[in-house]
Structure 1
Amino acid sequence: MMNNLKLLSIVVCFLGISLFSCSSDDSKVEAELVVAKESLSFGNGAEMQKLAIKSNVDWQMSSSESWCVLSASSGKSGTHQIEVNVTANATNDTRQAVVTIIAGSVKKALIIAQEGNVDNIPADQTGMSSDAKTLAAKMKLGWNLGNTLEVPFTSGGETGWGNEKTTEALIKAVKAAGFNAIRIPCAWDSYIEDPSNYTIKASWLARVKEVVDYCVSNDVYAILNIHWDGGWLETNPTYAKQEVVNKKQAALWTQIAVQFRNYDEHLLFAGTNEVHVENVYTEPTTENNTVQQSYNQTFVDAVRATGGKNAYRNLIVQTYNTNIGYGVKFMKMPTDNVSNRMFVEVHYYDPYDFTLKEEGGLNYWGEPYKQYGAVGSWGQEADLDAAFASVKTNFVDKGYPAILGEFGAIKRATLTGDALTHHLESRAYYVKQVVSTAKKYGVVPFYWDNGPSGNNAMGIFNRATGAVSDQQILNGLVEGSAVNYPF
C-alpha cells in the first residue's frame, strides 16, 4: 500500500498536481553559501553596516551577542542585503560578537569587532591630506539641510517643523543639482538621556550618522554643527553661564567627535552657530565676545583631544553672531595644536529688509531692479563686495579660509503680475551675486534652504521627492558658483 501511495505522489507531481508537497528538497541540493566579508569593524558608537549573502538554499543566521542585532534571522535562497546593527559601546574595551550563518550543511562565521569608548586614540592622518585652504577649493557650492535635524526633540524632532525625514534620494538630488557640500544644522541638547554626564541618546547619534553617511558615501562634503538647539549655548555668551555651558559644550563635542572619529576629510565640524545675547544684535561687549570665543576654544580642544582622524580634521569656528563686521573688529581665532586646519564662519543676510523681513519688507535688490521700486540705501552690490573683501583681508589672507554658512532671501509669493516677476528675478540676481562675490574672495557659500518654497520661504527642493521646486533660485546659485575659488 505504501509503495502504491509513493508511486501515486510521483505521478501527480509529474502532472503538476500537489498531493502532499512537490517542492524541491533542500536536503538533496548541494548547499552553496557566499558571505561578502569575513569580518566587520565598527567604531564605539551605534552604527549599521550592510552585509551581502548569497545562497542556493534556505538559510539561518544568529548573533552571539545582544548588542549586535541583525535585520533578518532567516531567508530563502538568493542574494540578500542584511543590516548588521551595533549599539553604542559604553565600555573602554573592544568587544566582539560572532554572527553564524547556516545554509544546509554549510556553516560560516562572521566576526564583528567594535572599538571601546576611548576618548583619545593615536592620531591618524589617513584620508586627511587636505588642509583648510585645499579643502576650501574642493567645495564648489554648499546647501543647508535647514529646519530638519536641528529641530529639538521636544518640538517633534526631525520632522517637527514640517519637513520630511531626510533620505539618501534627497541628498543625491541635491548633488545632481550642482551642490557638492552640505551643512547639517543639528540639535543635541534635547537628545541628552542622562543630564548628569550629558550622554546623548545612541539612537540620535545613529540617526545623525545615517544622514552624514548619505553625504559622504556620495562624495559630498558635510559640515556638522551644534545649531540653535533651544538656545542653551547660542543665547548665553555671559560670564554667569560660561562655566556650565563650556562643560556641556566639551561633553557633547567629545561624544560627537568620538562617534565620527573614523570619517575622512569629507566631514568637517562647526562648533556653534549664531552666538549672541538673546534678542540683542548690536556689537558684543567685552564679556560677550570673550565668552563666545571661549565656546570656540572649548570646541577645538574637545575635538582634538579625541585623536584619530580628528587630530587633523578641518574645524570651523564662528564670529560673534556670525556677523562679518563683528568678526573683523573683534574675532581672535582659537589656538590649535595642528596648523592650517581651521575655517572661520560668517553669515550674510544683508539687507535685512529684503532678505528676511516678512511684513513691510523690500521687494527688490540690486542696481538692475531699482527701476521697479525701492531697493534700500545699503546692502547693495558695492556693500556686498566690501563685506567679503574684508573677510579676505582679515581671515583668508591670514590662513583662515571662510565658510558663508547661511545666506538667502525669502520669496514674497503674495505679489502679483509684473511685481512678482521682477521680485523673483531680483532674488535670483541676489543669490547669484552673493555666491560669485563670496567665491571671488575665497569664501565658500552655503545657501539656506528651510524646506518650503511658498510665501516667505527659501526652499529649492521638494524634501519628499527631491524635485526642484525653485528652478530660478537654483539657476542663480549655480551660475554664481561658476567663479573659481581663486587661491
Structure 2
Amino acid sequence: MNDIRHALSRRSRGPGRLAALLLSLVVLLGLSGGTALAGPNGEKKRSRPAVVVPASAMDAVAAMQPSWNLGNTLDAIPHETNWGNPLTTREMLAHVRSQGFRSVRIPVTWTDHHSATAPYTIDPVWMNRVQQVVDWALAEGLYVVLNIHHDSWQWIAKMTTEHDQVLARYNALWTQIAARFKDAPRTLLFESVNEPQFENATAEQVTRFLNELNTSFHSIVRSSGGGNTDRLLVLPTKFCTPDQALMDDLYTTIRALNDRNLVATVHYYSWYPFSVNIAGGTHYDATAQKDLDDAFARMHNTFVARGIPVYVGEYGLLGWPDHNHPSRIERGEALKYYEHLGYKARVAGVTTALWDPGAWAYLNRETLTWSDPALFQWIKSSWTTRSGTTSFDKVHLPKSSPITVQSLTLNRNGTSFHGLWQGNTRLSYGRDYTVSGDRLTFTTTALTRLAGNRAYGVNATIQARFSSGLPWNIDIVTHDRPVLANATGTTGAFTIPTRYRGDTLATMHATYADGTNAGQTDWTPYQEFNKAFRPDYAGNGIILHTEFLNALRDGERATLVFHFYSGATVTYHVTKSGTSVTGTVA
C-alpha cells in the first residue's frame, strides 16, 4: 500500500532466522498439507471442485468479486512473519473462502529471496513456499492474483539510473515465476508489479518505463507456454493511482498489446485528508464522497465501458482500522465510506480487493476471527445491497444544559426508512421522533428518557432501520466541554491533562501568532491524527508526539485548537524551548 511506513515499522517484531527456519519446515514437511497442482513436495489432499473460469476476461474478473489481500505476509520484509502475522495455512485460506470471498491477492516481495546479480536466481525454498500458499488458495476454490510487490520501491524504482540492470532483473524474475506456474489453472492471475514508481523520473520517463515493464512482462508470460498462453494478466498504473492521465497511459498500453485477457488494476484508499484524518478530514463529507464517485466513474469510463475489466487490487483507509492506536477516523464515518465504496464498485462493474494487513486490522489470522465483526458485516453487506445511514452516528446532549430537540439528516441511499428501535422496542412516531423530508428529529421526551441519569458518555443506542441493508446505530451521548490543564514536559514526552467528560477528539488545529501553520505538516493547520497528536482516553490526556514538538519553532508560542465531535473546541498554548515544553490553557 502507499503508506508503507506503517508496514515497515513491523520489521523489528519478527523472529528473523527463526522465521526462515519455520518457513523451510512448512515447505519441506507440508505441515498444513494440500495442493491444487502437483505441489513442490507432492502433497495430496482433498480439493474443492475445479472452478470453471469464464472465457471472457470481463466475466472472469466479475467472478472474482469480492477479493481479499493476504497483506503483510509473503510481501513482508524480509520473511513471512516479520510484520506480525503468523505463517499462512490452508485453513486460513479456507476460512477466507467461507466468509464469502471469491479471490485472494497474494502479494510477494522477492527482494530478499533471489540474487541481486545475474542470473537473479530465486531461492528454491522461497519459490516452493510461494507455490504452496498459491496452491492452497487454488485448492480452496479461490481465484489467486500473484505479483511482484515491494520490489517496486526497493529496486525497480531505480530504473531511472539503472535501466538495463533493473529490466534484466525484473525479466529474470518473471521468467522464473512464469515457468514455475505455467501449468497452474486459469484461476491464477499474474500482476506485473505493485504500485510501480521511478525515482526522479520525468512524466515522459514514467510513461515509457511502465509501458516497458508491462510489455516485457506480457511477452515473457505469453511466450512461456502452457496455461500462460491465455492466463489473465493484470497491469497497473503508476502507483496504482486512478488518475485519468495515468489510466489513459495504461489504456494505450493494453490496446497496443491487443490481448483479450488483460486486466487493468488500480488501488483506492479514499480522499487522502479523510483517509488519514488530516487537513480537517474528520467526516465522510461531500468532498470525500465526490472523490470516490469520480474515481470509480473514471475506472468504468476508461476501461470497463471499453471492454477491459478492472481489478481494484487494494482498497481501504490508510489510517483505519488500527487497533494498536486510538481510532483516527470516527467509526460511523468509516462505515459510510465502506458502504459507499461497495455500492459504487457494483455500479462501475469493477472487482474490489480489501487490503488486510493482518490481526490489528481486519482478520485475525491466528484465531480466524474478525477483529471488528460489525465492521466486516458492513463491508460484506455492501457487496450486494445498500444500507441507510444518518448525518452522524451520535446525538450529543450537553449535561450542563436542558435537553432540547435534536435532529439528524437521513441518508436513505435508495432505501426506505422504517423507523427507530431501542433493542426490540420500536420508538413511537410523533411521541419519540418525527421525519420531515430527510430530517429526523428526536423529541425532548424521547431524549430525556434515553439519556437516563445523564452520566457522561453513551447513555443509550438506538437503531435506524431501513428497507434493506444493515440497521444504523445512533448513540445518545451526554457530554460537557472537555477541560484541559497546564503541563510541562519535554519533546520526548508531553501530555496535556484532559478531562473528556463524554466527548471524543476529532482533530487539532495548530498555528503561530503570525497565522502560519505549526507542526510537521506545513501545508495545513490541521495536523495528522495519531502522528502529530493522539488522545489517551484511559489516561485522561492528549499526547503531543515528538515529531510534532520537534517541528515547532523554538521559543515561539503555538496556539492549538482541539476540535471534538460534539462540536466543542478548546484552545491551548504550547511553547518549546530547546527540549523543554510548556503548555497552558488559553
TM-score by length of 1: 0.65
**5+ long unaligned stretches in structure 1:** 1-39, 53-80, 82-125, 368-377, 454-458
Residues 365, 426 of structure 1: 8 Å contact kept: yes
Q: Who is 2:210 aligned against?
A: 292
Structure 2 stretches of 5 or more lacking a match?
A: 1-34, 387-586
Q: Conserved in 2, the CA contact under 8 Å of 1:150 and 1:229?
A: no
Question: CA distance change for structure 1 residues 284 and 132 in 2, over 3 Å: closer, same or farther?
Answer: farther
Query: 1:298-356 CA distances to partner (integer Å, 9 max, x unpaired)?
Result: 11111111010000000000011111114234332246777310001101122112224
Deviations 1:160-197 (A, max 9, x none): 11111111111112111221111111011211147321
Matches within 5 A, 1:96-175: 130-153=55-78, 157-175=79-97
RMSD: 3.0
The whole-number CA distance in structure 2 between the counterparts of 1:207 and 1:253 is 17
**Is the CA contact 1:284–1:320 (under 8 Å) kept in the aligned structure 2?**
no
Q: Which residue of 1 aligns with 2:184?
A: 263
| Residue type of the alignment partner of 2:208 | T
Distance 1:313 1:258 in 2: 13
Matched, 1:462 2:364: yes
1:353 is matched with 273
* Structure 1 CA distance for aligned equivalents of residues 202 and 347 of structure 2: 29
Q: Distance in 2 between matches of 1:395 and 1:51?
A: 40
- State the one-letter code of the partner of 2:80: E
**Quick one: which of 423, 430, 436 aligns to 2:343?**
436
CA contact (8 A) 1:184 1:225 kept: yes
Contact residue 432 and residue 477 of structure 1 kept, 8 A: yes
What's 1:330 paired with?
A: 249
Render the CA deviation track for 1:369-394: whole Å, top value 9, x for unaligned.
Answer: xxxxxxxxx3x223311211111111
Q: Secondary structure at the match of 1:347?
A: strand
- SS state of the match for residue 198, structure 1? coil
SS of residue in 1 equivalent to 2:369: coil
- Structure 1 residues 26-55: Cα deviation after superposition (integer angstroms, max 9, x where no partner): xxxxxxxxxxxxxx9987xx7122359xxx
The change in CA–CA distance for 1:42 and 1:171 in structure 2 (over 3 A counts) is closer
The one-letter amino acid of 1:308's match is G
Q: Distance in 1 between matches of 2:123 and 2:76?
A: 15
| Count of residue pairs the alignment pairs up | 344
Could you say what secondary structure the match of 1:324 adopts? coil
Q: Which has the higher contact order (CA 8 A, sep 6+)?
A: 1
Residue 48 of structure 1 aligns to a residue in which SS? coil
Look up the equivalent residue of 2:182 and give its one-letter code: R
Paired with 2:265 and 2:378, the residues of 1 have a C-alpha distance of 22
SS at match of 2:83: coil
Q: 1:248 aligned to 152, 169, 173, which one?
A: 169
How far apart, in 1, do the equivalents of 2:61 and 2:194 lie? 19
| Distance (Å, rounded) in 1 between the aligned partners of 2:93 and 2:363 | 10
Distance 1:197 1:298, change over 3 A: same
Greater radius of gyration (CA): 1
Does the residue aligned with 1:472 lie in a helix, a strand or coil? Answer: helix
Percent of paired sites with the same residue: 28
Contact kept in structure 2, 1:293 and 1:334, CA below 8 Å: no
Query: CA offset at residue 204 of structure 1?
Result: 0.6
Deviation at 1:134, TM superposition (A): 1.6
Report the CA distance between 1:228 and its aligned residue.
1.1
Q: Aligned residue for 1:320?
A: 238
Identify which of 297, 310, 327 aligns with 1:402.
310
Asked if the contact 2:362–2:371 (Cα under 8 Å) also holds between the matched residues in 1, the reply is yes
In 1, are the aligned partners of 2:67 and 2:101 still within 8 Å (CA)?
yes
1:241 Cα deviation from its structure 2 partner: 2.7
Query: What is the deviation of 1:475?
Result: 1.5
1:35 aligned residue: none
Which residue of 389, 393, 404 corresponds with 2:297?
Answer: 389
Tell me, what secondary structure is at the counterpart of 1:365? Answer: coil
SS of corresponding position for 2:370: coil
Question: Aligned-pair distance for 1:466?
Answer: 1.1
Structure 1 position 411 matched with structure 2 position 333: no
Which of 132, 135, 140 is the aligned partner of 1:213?
Answer: 135
Q: Distance in 2 between matches of 1:276 and 1:196?
A: 23
Give the drift of 1:421: 11
Q: 1:193 to 1:330 in 2, by over 3 A?
A: closer
Q: 1: CA distance between counterparts of 2:328 and 2:226? A: 53
Distance 1:291 1:193 in 2: 23
Q: State the alpha-carbon separation in 1 of the partners of residues 322 and 88 from structure 2.
A: 26
Over 3 Å counting, the alpha-carbon distance change for 1:347 and 1:422 in structure 2 is closer
**Is 1:339 paired with 2:249?**
no
Q: How far off is 1:137 after superposition?
A: 1.8
The yes-or-no answer on 1:477 pairing with 2:379 is yes
Q: Distance in 1 between matches of 2:171 and 2:72?
A: 25
| CA 413–260 in structure 1, closer or farther in 2 if over 3 Å, else same | closer
Distance 1:51 1:144 in 2: 26
